[in-house]
Amino acid sequence: MMVDDHVAELRDGEQAWAYGVEWFDQWDAGQRLWLLERVTSALLGRETIEPSAAMFDATVDAIFYEVNDLVRMEIEQDAADDSERSWRQSVIDALECQTDRLSILTADGVDQLAWQTTITQIADAILGIRLYQRAEAFRDADYEKTESFLRDRGLPETYLTLIPPLRTVDQTQWSIDRIQAYVFA
């Protein structure tokens, strides 16, 4: 869904979808697709993202906001099935992979709060404390305070200043293809 929304924005002039994560939503569709490609390759592949940056942390958060919305829609549409492709089953699979334990949730469960809690637990295990949210207060603050905040948390000086590159049509298509290769592998 996220990739489809961005492609529709680029190709059809659709309104940009807001995920509720300003550090992600502020970029144009091509930049967000690049961020999604980088994060997808780190989460589902063998790549790492260096250096750490607020834009990457926010992208992970945006992905989990989207997963939560997709689970909510699945519940509202009563789209429960035994398919391995359901969003609820994907959340269960991710939790079991992460914790190495069986989940008490079932793919036909309709308790939205339980799903939201589980999705947040998975995101927390990946992101930990949302430093990009805490760093927001320092973005326009005194440089010494910002530097101290970043240093005390082991973050690079560029954590708040890195921005995604502007992309050509071919580069954006490459990002789309890479995301799809990881997701549909």
Taking only the tens place, the pLDDT of each residue in 125-143 is 988 888 998 888 887 888 8
146, 168 Cβ separation under 8 angstroms: no
Segment 101-128 mean pLDDT: 93
Token pair 């260096």 in the structure block, residue? 50
Q: In the structure, what pLDDT confidence band is assigned to residue 82 with cuts at 50, 70 and 90?
A: low
Taking Cα atoms as reference points, which of 109, 106, 81 lies closest to residue 93?
A: 106
Residue 153 placed within a domain: no
> Angle 9-15-17 (CA atoms, 0-180°, nearest 5)?
85
135 neighbors 23 (Cβ within 8 angstroms): no
Domain of residue 94 covers 54-128
The pLDDT of residue 81: 55
User: Is residue 156 reached through a cis peptide bond, with omega within 30 degrees of 0 on the bond before it?
Assistant: no
- Stretch 48-68: mean pLDDT: 94
User: How many structural domains is the chain composed of?
Assistant: 1
In a domain, 177, yes or no: no
- In this prediction, residue 79 has a pLDDT band, given cuts at 50, 70 and 90, of low
Is 90 exceeded by the pLDDT of residue 110?
Answer: yes
182 located within any domain: no
Q: Is 179 a residue whose pLDDT tops 70?
A: yes
Instruction: Report pLDDT for 55.
Output: 96
Q: pTM value?
A: 0.90
For residue 76, tell me if it sits in a domain: yes
- Of the candidates 120, 170, 164, which has an alpha carbon nearest to the alpha carbon of residue 24? 164
Q: Is residue 171 part of a domain?
A: no
What would the two tokens of residue 74 be? 């699945």
Q: Which helix (H) or strand (E) holds 167?
A: none
Residue 95 lies in a domain: yes
**Do the domain assignments include residue 133?**
no
Identify whether 85 is part of a domain: yes
% of the chain with per-residue pLDDT over 90: 71
Q: Mean of the pLDDT values across residues 164-175?
A: 96
